[in-house]
Structure 1
Amino acid sequence: MIDAHQHFWATARGDYGWLTPEAGVLYRDFGAEDLSPLLARHGITGTILVQAAQTVAETRYLLDIAERAPFVLGVVGWVDFTAPDAARQIAELAGERLLVGLRPMVQDLDDDDWLLRRDIAPAIAAMQEHGLVFDALVYPRHLPRLCAFLDRYPGLPVVLDHGGKPEIRNAALDPWRADIAAIAARPRTLCKVSGLATEARGDWSAKTLRPYVDHLLAVFGPARLMWGSDWPVLTKAGSYDSWREAAQNLLGGLKPAEKAAVFGGNAARFYLGPRGRRPG
Structure 2
Amino acid sequence: MATRIDAHQHYWNPDRGDYGWLTPDLTALYRTFGPADLAPLRTATRIDKTVVVQAAATIGETRYLLDLARNEASIAGVVGWVPLLDDDAPALIAGLAREPKFKGVRPMLQDLPDDNWIANPALAPAIEALITHDLAFDALIFARHVDALETFIQRFPQLRIVVDHGAKPAIRDGAAGWQPWADGMEKLARFPQVHCKLSGLATEAAPGWTEGTLRPYVDHLLAHFGPTRLMWGSDWPVLNLNGDYLTWHAVANELLASLSETQCDAVFGGNAAAFYRL
Give the TM-score normalised by the residue count of structure 2. 0.97
Q: Structure 2 matches for 1:170-185, cutoff 5 A?
A: 170-171=173-174, 172-185=177-190
CA-CA distance at 1:146 after TM superposition: 1.1
Task: Give the AA of the match of 1:179.
Answer: G
Q: Distance in 2 between matches of 1:259 and 1:38?
A: 20
Q: Structure 2 matches for 1:109-124, cutoff 5 A?
A: 109-124=112-127
The alignment yields a C-alpha RMSD, in angstroms, of 0.7
Deviations 1:191-220 (A, max 9, x none): 000000000001111100010000000000
Q: Distance in 2 between matches of 1:8 and 1:243?
A: 18
Equivalent residue in structure 1 for 2:29, among 19, 26, 30: 26
Task: Specify the alignment match of 1:41 in structure 2.
Answer: 44
CA-CA distance at 1:163 after TM superposition: 0.3
Q: Distance in 2 between matches of 1:256 and 1:193?
A: 17
Task: Give the AA of the match of 1:185.
Answer: R
The answer to whether 1:54 aligns with 2:57 is: yes
CA-CA distance at 1:175 after TM superposition: 1.2
Aligned-pair identity (%) = 53
Q: Structure 2 matches for 1:1-150, cutoff 5 A?
A: 1-150=4-153
SS in 2 for 1:25: coil
Deviations 1:123-159 (A, max 9, x none): 0000000010000001111012111111111110000
Q: Structure 2 matches for 1:173-212, cutoff 5 A?
A: 173-212=178-217
SS in 1 for 2:179: coil
Task: Specify the alignment match of 1:252 in structure 2.
Answer: 257
Task: Give the AA of the match of 1:125.
Answer: E
Unpaired runs of 5+ in structure 2? Answer: none
Task: Give the AA of the match of 1:7.
Answer: H
Task: Specify the alignment match of 2:242 in structure 1.
Answer: 237
Q: Distance in 2 between matches of 1:69 and 1:85?
A: 30
Q: Distance in 2 between matches of 1:144 and 1:202?
A: 30
CA-CA distance at 1:243 after TM superposition: 0.4
Task: Give the AA of the match of 2:72.
Answer: A
Deviations 1:175-202 (A, max 9, x none): 1111101100000011000000000001
Q: Distance in 2 between matches of 1:39 and 1:209?
A: 23
Q: Distance in 2 between matches of 1:23 and 1:242?
A: 21
Q: How many residues align?
A: 273
Q: Distance in 1 between matches of 2:182 and 2:237?
A: 27
CA-CA distance at 1:24 after TM superposition: 2.0
CA-CA distance at 1:95 after TM superposition: 1.1
SS in 1 for 2:39: helix
Q: Distance in 2 between matches of 1:230 and 1:195?
A: 6
Task: Specify the alignment match of 1:159 in structure 2.
Answer: 162
Runs of 4+ in 1 over 3 A off after TM superposition: none
SS in 2 for 1:36: helix
Q: Distance in 2 between matches of 1:175 and 1:107?
A: 16
Equivalent residue in structure 2 for 1:263, among 238, 244, 268: 268
Unpaired runs of 5+ in structure 1? Answer: none
Q: Distance in 1 between matches of 2:27 and 2:85?
A: 32
Q: Distance in 1 between matches of 2:193 and 2:210?
A: 31
